[in-house]
Amino acid sequence: MRHVGPLLLVLVALAGVGFYNYQQNAALDRELANRPHAGISTSDLDVLYQAHKAELERLERKLGVQSDGTKEVGNYAPSDLKGKLQGFDRFQTRNKAWKEVYRDKLDQELALEGIEKERAIRRQGLDRRWVQVWRRVSTF
């Protein structure tokens, strides 16, 4: 019976330190705040990842073949105004198409980044609430 008091004091101290540490480590959960793919099952997430990756590879191949139109400018004699204007028009058209493909490529990269973030959270088990709580309490 005489060891109950110190034991109770140690338990209260541990709970207090755990609570304090939990509050101090709130920054660990900031990465878990914005999870647009949280509701998707892991198998569907893997399928979505593969689809975005395939689309990204397709767009990269298309960008490798497609010209941005810079070769259209500067191949004309100084007095060839009509040729320069037609070249500039072709440049504008090709550059616009190239920018659209490049924009799509960047969108795919952002989508893949978000999916990869969700996959990393799940690999660490941080999609389960008690794992999050334990990490915040036990990280010093």
Q: Give the model's pLDDT for residue 21.
A: 77
Cα separation of 36 and 52, whole Å? 16
pLDDT of residue 4 exceeding 80, the answer is yes
Q: Give the model's pLDDT for residue 65.
A: 83
Is the pTM for the entire model greater than 0.75?
A: no
Residues 87-125: pLDDT tens digits? 888 888 888 999 999 999 999 999 999 999 999 999 988
Q: Residues 115, 37: contact at Cβ < 8 Å? A: yes
Q: Give the model's pLDDT for residue 7.
A: 87
Cα separation of 125 and 119, whole Å? 10
